[in-house]
Structure 1
Amino acid sequence: MSIHKHQHDEHTQTAERQQIQEPPLYRVLLHNDDYTTMDFVIDILENVFHKTPAEATRIMLLVHRQGIGNCGEYPRSIAETKVVTVTKLARDRGFPLLCSMQKV
């Protein structure tokens, strides 16, 4: 019985020494243009990025005033999916809204 306990202790010690690396995060950005409506941007922020109405309005105004706004930081695959989703929704509605991602 002590042999099994000793083997378990070695495994536990090895696991404690290993460091788990978090996947790199990517910032998803919306870019201002002269055609996409503010209401559509708010809708995107609420439905794709799950922002509250207040958060969505704040980010939309940031995009409008500064030309770019941060929608959130996500692992690469999630960020890519959000960029594709936003782009498709915008094109389906006839808007040229640009959504991009950059490594944090």
Structure 2
Amino acid sequence: MGTKHEDGTVATRQEQKLKPPPMYQVFLLNDDFTPMEFVVAVIQEYFNKDRENATHIMLKVHREGKGMCGVFSKDIASTKVELVLTHARKAGHPLQCVMEEA
């Protein structure tokens, strides 16, 4: 027997078991070589943060070793990691970007 929705339809057992897909947090990791200003620019460009929020995240990376830039579906998180790593390498910086299941 299913659960009745407000619109009068009945949910099946399978529909009730469906969970939303896992979300992934994207982090930047601290290093001793990537300039702070470059990190702020990356956060602004790839994570759509304003300068104040980007600076706050950069300082968290600097002080705590890593800082979260956002939470995304797996495909989007993976793409953001690749874009950041590619941009950093092209600029000659060892900045690391990783994703972890939320």
Instruction: Provide TM-score, normalisation by structure 2.
Output: 0.85
Q: RMSD across aligned C-alpha pairs, in angstroms?
A: 1.7
Identity of aligned residues (%): 44
Match 1:79 to one of 52, 77, 80: 77
How much does 1:22 deviate?
A: 1.4
Match 1:68 to one of 63, 66, 69: 66
Whole-angstrom distance in 2 between the partners of 1:23 and 1:30: 23
Letter in 2 for 1:54: E
Whole-angstrom distance in 1 between the partners of 2:19 and 2:55: 34
Unaligned runs of 5+ in 2: 1-7
Q: Which runs of 4+ in 1 moved over 4 A?
A: none
Paired residues in the alignment total 94
SS at match of 2:67: strand
Match 2:21 to one of 17, 20, 23: 23
User: Which of the pair has more CA radius of gyration?
Assistant: 1
Query: Which structure shows the bigger proportion of residues in helix conformation?
Result: 1
Unaligned runs of 5+ in 1: 1-8
